[in-house]
Structure formats: C-alpha cells, structure tokens
Amino acid sequence: MPTSKLDIVTPEKVAFSEDIELLEATAIDGNIGILPGHAPLVTALEIGVLKVVKGDEDIFISISEGFMEVKPQQINVIVRTAELPQEIDVERAESAKKRAEERLDKEVDEKIDEARARAALERAVSRIRVAEKHNLR
C-alpha cells in the first residue's frame, strides 16, 4: 500500500515521524483527509485530534493549533504542542478541563480571557478524546 512520510513537529521536539497511509485532521475550514499522492496544500489546523492510519493501526494524537504542509509523498504538521496517547496525563487533562469550564462560567463582569480559556478547554478535551480512543481512561 502506498505511504506518505508524516512529520509532526513542535518547538521542543519531533513528536512523530513515520510512514503512514492516511491522515485525518481538522483544518480551519473543516475536516480533511490526506492520502499518499495528495496535491500540494498548506492549511492552518485547529486544536483537536489527528487520526493517523498506519497499517492496521489507528493512532490518535492530540494537537494544538498550527499548520500543515502537504506534498505528494510528505506531510509536515507544525504545531505548538502534540501529545501521543502514552504521553497524556488523563487526570491533569480532566483538571484542566474543569478549570477552563469554571473560568468560562464566571460572571461576565469578571475579567477573564475568554479566548485563552476556550483554547485551554479545547486542548483538554482533545487530550481526553485521545485517551478515550486508546482506552487510557
């Protein structure tokens, strides 16, 4: 089966670098699937979960916002953070989710950074979804 090389890079590390058959991601304008031989593309990515298909294995990776560059045989994902299932601390993610929800529930007259709180909530939910998909919860 044809493959593409997927590199997921953060400022701290190369989080993932392997040959894959399919990548599913959430771009700013919706969900997108990338197969080997895909036309060149550059798009922004939303906070969420990447689905990587490698052989018979589905791998789910929690990412923050970033960009994806696609070439026919190479996919580069550049994000602020990327967490593989085994790197996720589920208790920490649950606590972060709760804190973000509490911040968002506060009275309107209290000064909160709503965008920051929403992003924290999205990251926590993404981590929890990855943990659930890999039965880590």
- Please count the structural domains in the chain: 2
Average model confidence (pLDDT) across the chain: 89
Same domain? 19 vs 72: yes
- My answer on whether 66 and 110 are in the same domain is no
The per-residue pLDDT for 111 is 59
Residue 48's region, left for phi above 0, alpha for psi from -120 to 50, else beta, is left
Same domain flag for 41 and 10 = yes
Return the structure tokens found at 128. Answer: 């929890």
Q: Output the pTM of the full model.
A: 0.81
DSSP label at residue 85 = G
**For residue range 52-68, what is the model confidence (pLDDT) as tens digits?**
999 999 999 999 999 99
| CATH (domain of 23) | 2.60.15.10
Q: What is the pLDDT of residues 32-89, one digit of tens each?
A: 999 999 999 999 999 999 999 999 999 999 999 999 999 999 999 999 999 998 888 7
pLDDT beyond 80 at 106: no
Are residues 20 and 64 both part of a single domain?
yes
Query: Token digits for 38?
Result: 């895909």
Query: Closest Cα partner for 26 from 11, 5, 46, 43?
Result: 46
Supply the range of the domain harboring residue 29.
Answer: 4-83
Same domain, 25 and 60: yes
DSSP-based helix, strand, coil % in the chain, nearest 5: 30, 40, 30
For residue 48, what pLDDT is reported? 93
Classify residue 11 by its DSSP letter: S
- State residue 89 phi and psi, 5-degree precision: -95, 100
**Exposure pattern of 79-92 as b/e (b: 16+ CB <10 Å)?**
bebbbbbeebeeee
Is the per-residue pLDDT at 95 higher than 80?
Answer: yes
